[in-house]
Amino acid sequence: MASIFTRIIEGELPGTFVWKDDRAVAFLSINPLRAGHVLIVPREEIDHWLDCPADLRDHLMGVAAEIGQALQDAYRPTKVGLMIAGLEVPHLHIHLLPIDDVHDMDFSNARPAGREELETEAARIRNALTERGAGGVSS
């Protein structure tokens, strides 16, 4: 059975994308820890990041760096946090979000976000990616 992320990638479930390329996508979390919380997901279903081929892992980190720079530009946080937890969905994903404190990455901060909020934040991130000249910006 396809993971929930595969179903989002294939358009079976809605997703608010900010990045798409032939190997990975990035979309906003529907339960963000903070505004701008992005999930970077390989198109290939891989459960554990340790099982990810080196070239794909490097690609995902490159995408994370592109989006991380855009988050830094758009939100001006102290840092852009990156985390691979992988317990909630058995499909490798990287959490990327603007942070000002280590507690900003605490999953107890998660809250549901509405479609309008997600679209507003996605537009903000896409604009920052476009201004940086990034290649995988999703429309």
1 CB-side CA count, 13 A: 4
Residue 23 pLDDT more than 90?
A: yes
Catalytic (active site) residue 48: no
Distances in Å between the Cα of 93 and the Cα atoms of 73, 116, 130 are 22, 24, 23
- Binned at pLDDT 50, 70 and 90, residue 64 comes out as very high
Q: Return the pLDDT at 48.
A: 95
- Max intra-chain CA distance, the chain: 40
Encode pLDDT of 2-11 as tens digits.
899 999 999 9
**Bridge partners for 97 per DSSP:** 81
Q: Return the pLDDT at 97.
A: 97
**Helices within 30-106 (DSSP H only):** 54-75
Residue 80 pLDDT more than 90?
A: yes
Report the topology of domain 4-132.
HIT family, subunit A (3.30.428)
Q: Return the pLDDT at 136.
A: 81
Q: What is the mean pLDDT of residues 29-39?
A: 98
Q: Where are the domains of the chain?
A: 4-132
Catalytic residue (one of 59, 91, 93, 95): 93
pTM, rounded to two decimals: 0.95
Question: Who contacts 91 (Cβ-Cβ below 8 Å, separation ≥6)?
Answer: 3, 4, 5, 6, 41, 45, 46, 47
Average pLDDT, the chain: 96
Q: Return the pLDDT at 137.
A: 83
Rounded to the nearest 5 percent, the helix, strand and coil shares of the chain are 40, 20, 40
